Amino acid sequence: MLACAAALPVRGESSTPALKIVVAGGHPGDPECGCAGTIARYSDLGHNVVLLYLNRGEGFCGGASLGRCAAIRTAEAGKACQILKARAAFAGQYDGRAIVDAPRYEAFDRVLAAESPDVVFTQWPIDSHRDHRAVSMLTLDAWLKSGKRFALYYYEVAEDTMMFSPGEYVDISSVESRRRAACYAHASQQPDKWYPKQVEITRSRGAESGFPQAEAFLRHPESKRALLP
Ligand SMILES: [Zn+2]
């Protein structure tokens, strides 16, 4: 395993240009759950981070009526992005009804290509939620269509991700409070139910990599390496 978090240059101390980072997720809250610490560290270094959500969370928002969910969860995503100094973007699908077909491959590719990313993080294709698997397939297809132009990494989320063996780690210990706040911005998703599980994961990943808490990623074996924070 390669723990590369400590060895990479810090922007500002070198001539490293600002990168465009896209973190794709099946729902509002997924990029935050899996990557909020890494996102905070990227944005603190001056890189530009976009959280690209496949849908607006139309399918569930706690006790509120379904008709209000998209608005509630779009607002929650905006709050999380503010905490992480990132920008929210939406790919226009419907929560719980993800479609992976030729028109959606093309639509997702257009959204991603418009961001011109240097690095993309997406969900692991063997997740229990269909929308997570869908965003993973859509991202992979866009990466292949781009000629593997950007670096492609996979992330894990509490209770959904199966059979994940990461190879690279980011120390998130210094940004733990912002990571927590970004996850708790998704109040309608009852973060008490999943955030502690994700902390167990990042503590375990930290034990593997020598940090108090770490987020862990798997780079696609045919992807170029990215500058991780
Ligand atoms: Zn999700």
Whether residue 174 is predicted with pLDDT greater than 60 in this model: the reply is yes
pLDDT value at position 15?
59
Alpha-carbon distances of 74 from 77, 79, 189, 220, rounded to whole Å: 5, 9, 12, 30
**What's the pTM?**
0.93
HEC assignment per residue over the chain: CCCCCCCCCCCCCCCCCCCEEEEEECCCCHHHHHHHHHHHHHHHCCCEEEEEEEECCCCCCCCCCHHHHHHHHHHHHHHHHHHHCCEEEEEEECCCCCCCCHHHHHHHHHHHHHHCCCEEEEECCCECCHHHHHHHHHHHHHHHHCCCCCEEEEECCCCCECCCCCCEEEECHHHHHHHHHHHHCCHHHCHHHCHHHHHHHHHHHHHHHCCCCEEEEEECCCCCCCCCC
What is the pLDDT at residue 6? 38
- What is the pLDDT, as a whole number, of residue 159? 87
Report the separation in Å between the CA atom of 156 and the middle of ligand 1, taken as the mean of its atom positions. 11
Q: How far does the centroid of ligand 1 lie from the alpha carbon of residue 62, in Å?
A: 14
158 CA → ligand 1 middle, Å: 10
Percentage of the chain modeled with pLDDT above 70: 93
Is a pLDDT exceeding 90 seen at residue 10?
no
d(CA 202, CA 99): 31
Q: 149 CA distance to ligand 1 centroid (A)?
A: 26
Q: Is the pLDDT of residue 5 over 80?
A: no
Mean pLDDT confidence for 21-32: 98
Label residue 16 by pLDDT band (50, 70, 90).
Answer: confident
Ligand 1 centre to CA of 29 (Å) is 7
Q: Which of 1-10, 96-105, 129-138 has the lowest mean pLDDT?
A: 1-10
- In the chain, the amino acid numbered 171 is D
Tell me how far the alpha carbon of residue 12 lies from the centroid of ligand 1, in angstroms: 35
pLDDT at 46 over 80: yes
Q: Distance, CA 172 to ligand 1 centroid (Å)?
A: 21
Quick one: average pLDDT of 16-38? 96
For residue 45, the CA-to-ligand 1 centroid distance in Å is 27
What separation in Å is there between the alpha carbon of 113 and the centre of ligand 1? 23
The band of 14, judged by pLDDT with boundaries at 50, 70 and 90, is low
- The stretch 24-45 carries a mean pLDDT of 98
The tens digit of pLDDT for each residue in 68-123 reads 999 999 999 999 999 999 999 999 999 999 999 999 999 999 999 999 999 999 99
Give residue-wise pLDDT tens across range 194-227.
Answer: 999 999 999 999 999 999 999 999 999 999 999 9
Nearest to 57 by CA among 186, 153, 165: 186
What's the whole-number mean pLDDT along residues 36-56? 98
